[in-house]
Chain A
Amino acid sequence: MGSIRDYFGNITSALGTTAKGMSVTLRHFTSEPPITVMYPHETKPVPPTYRGMHILEQEKCIDCHLCAKACPVDCIEIEAEHHGRKLEWEKFSIDYKKCIFCEFCIPPCPVDCIHMTSEYEMATDSNDDMVEDLLTWTGLRPEDQAALDGKPTAVQAKKQQESKKGGADKAAQIAAIKARLKKGS
């Protein structure tokens, strides 16, 4: 008899505890707001300290290679010719296939000319696109730049709105990043 009582007791307690759990689920289902956002139409804000793609203040840079030396994965390639105090830039490229976004390239810079932006949407269908030359990169992808002239899609239109704040104008964008960094914790 005891075994039968155990058998039905088990079923009862299993149903009871599951019902209790389901009540919690139901409460969440009805009274809690959803926490997900409809990416890519909406995005969550990133903090000012975010470690995204880099941006370079070319006129400040003195070609000292300290950032390249600090890089644990050797993803920064710098080439420039010195004509006295003037620099003739060949390239300042970052291989984002290698980059681990550790931020070690930022603190060694003696003139504070390399920063990290909040750009994180860097998916592409080609390996070559992952190598970004910071001399030409202004914070906008080439296709986005092209879309600015043509008829933009809904996503691109939103990007365009954001980029108008500083994406097209590199100096303004750097100023914005600096302001954010100063504010940041």
Chain B
Amino acid sequence: MEALEMYTVDDRDDVYTEELKLNLGPQHPSTHGVLRVELAMDGEIITRSRADIGYLHRCAEKIGENVSYLQFNPYTDRMDYLASMNNNLAWSLTVEKLMGTEVPERAQWLRMICAEMNRIASHLIAFGTYGIDIGANTPFFYAFRERESIMTLLERPSGTRMLYNYIQPGGLRRDVDDTWVADVLAFCDDFEKRWAEYNTVLSHNRIFIGRTANIGVIPKDMALDYGLTGPVLRGSGVKWDLRRDVPYLKPYDEVDFDIPVGEGTHGSLGDCWDRYWVRMREMMESIRIIRQGCAALPGGEVMTKKQKSMYKTPIKPEKQNVYMRCENPRGELGFFVAAEGGTSPVRVHARAPSFCNLSVLDALLPGTMLGDAVAVIGSLDIVLGEVDR
């Protein structure tokens, strides 16, 4: 893509201003990382925009072609670093599909519980930082307090707080004990009360609604055209969720949960508030899933002895191409792997939800005010580690 060229707006009779080129980022707190948006401004109105990405490119896909299938697992942590569990899950499922591995039932249920907890943690960041973008500081601290509880819980079986590397091809690194399950349920009870507070503090605040409603509207068709996924797509009223439509884990078939979609509560369907509200309700659905998961958690092992041998001898799948996708907090994360019999794949590709969701930004921004650009970027909830990989 070539850079925007400066030119003057001279097709107006009454007043014209010289078009101003404005850089939003890459060091701007509201771009959630190192995203640079090149804006062409006419006064305070954005006329054109171009998202400039690549500041956090770490060759994750190329690294995948040089390490073994198991060794790539910790690298997936670092793509969407706010939802490491879900990334581990997607990669593990890809490798399992490649090998035709059966995962023990207990591991499947625990995977679901951990992934949903990480989904809540990720949405909490989206909620908290969105408040900061709009100018509300308090929700951020509340969100981080609850995220801290989730991280402390996930730290116990995995050993780290953020880059878990806990879900691994073939099962889980470690089993959990009953006190952990009890603590998770206690967290669920606590979180419900907190969630109601979030809504009082931020969701139903008139000023917040005024800043987000009818801004950055993505109609249904546009959402589908751009290949958006996750809460951004569901915010536009499309009921599509891989957990329900393509259950990649067996337990998702057995638990009962709703898929929140945008309803256009404050005006137009698919505006920033709708996307925000979908995320908020998804947290409660995740709580529902975790509760059912904890109640139905079967016994048994979390990784078979045969699988554990992969730690010593790298696995060698037969020649084939595999694509596996998962519903991440930000949308559909897919891994494409081309195996040719060696210990490492010949091609790894990640279909990153943040990357695809970001593509709609350039179509959303023209015509909006500069202050709303921040609200639009925040509502897409991108993680630059995943956009650039």
Residues of chain A whose beta carbon lies under 8 Å from any beta carbon of chain B: 10, 13-14, 16-18, 20-21, 23-25, 28, 35, 46-47, 49-51, 66, 70, 72, 100-104, 107-108, 116, 184-185
Contact = CB atoms under 8 A, between A and B. Distances in A.
8 contacts: A10-B210, A17-B204, A17-B206, A47-B156, A100-B163, A103-B165, A104-B70, A185-B179
Given A66-B312, A107-B308, A108-B311, A21 B75 contact: no
A13 B207 CA distance: 9
B200 A20 contact: yes
B71 interface: yes
A103 B311 CA distance: 11
A25 B155 contact: no
A116 B68 CA distance: 23
A10 B179 CA distance: 49
A108 B312 contact: yes
Contact of B160 (A21, A25, A51, A66): A51
A14 B160 contact: no
B158 interface: yes
B56 to A, nearest CB: 16
B207 A18 contact: yes
Contacts of B148: 35
B312 A72 contact: no
Contacts of B205: 14, 17-18, 21
A13 to B, nearest CB: 4
A21 B74 contact: no
Contacts of B177: 185
B349 to A, nearest CB: 19
Nearest to A74: B67
Contacts of B308: 107
Interface string B268-312: 000000000000000000000000000000000000000010011
B180 A185 contact: yes
Interface stretch (B9-17, B168-176, B319-327): B168-176
A104 B71 contact: yes
Contacts of B74: 72, 100, 102, 104
Contacts of B68: 72
Contact of B206 (A14, A66, A72, A104): A14
B155 A50 contact: yes
B202 interface: yes
Given A70-B311, A185-B174, A103 B159 contact: yes
Given A66-B312, A103-B165, A104-B71, A13 B159 contact: no
B contact face: mostly helix, strand, loop, or mixed: helix
A102 B167 CA distance: 12
A24 B142 CA distance: 11
B200 A47 contact: no
B200 A24 contact: yes
Interface residues of B, number: 39
Nearest to A12: B206
Interface string B152-194: 0001111110010100000001111101100000000000000
A36 B71 CA distance: 35
B67 A72 contact: yes
A108 B155 CA distance: 22
Candidate in B70, B73, B173, B201 with the most chain A CB atoms within 10 angstroms: B201
A43 B159 CA distance: 17
Contacts of A21: 138, 200-202, 205
A18 B173 contact: no
B197 interface: yes
B266 interface: no
A15 B165 CA distance: 46
A76 to B, nearest CB: 13
A80 to B, nearest CB: 20
Interface in B119-173: 138, 142, 145, 148, 155-160, 163, 165, 173
Contacts of A70: 71, 311-312
B63 to A, nearest CB: 8
A101 B74 CA distance: 9
Contacts of A108: 311-312
- Which 10 pairs across A and B sit closest by C-beta, in order of nearness? A72-B71, A102-B74, A51-B159, A14-B206, A107-B311, A185-B177, A21-B201, A49-B159, A13-B206, A17-B206
Given A47-B155, A116-B159, A185 B176 contact: yes
A24 B197 contact: yes
Contacts of B70: 104
A103 B173 contact: yes
A20 to B, nearest CB: 5
A30 B176 CA distance: 36
A66 B155 CA distance: 26
B133 to A, nearest CB: 17
A185 B175 contact: yes
A56 B204 CA distance: 55
Nearest to B207: A14
Nearest to A107: B311
Contacts of A35: 145, 148
Interface in B66-117: 67-68, 70-75
A104 B77 CA distance: 14
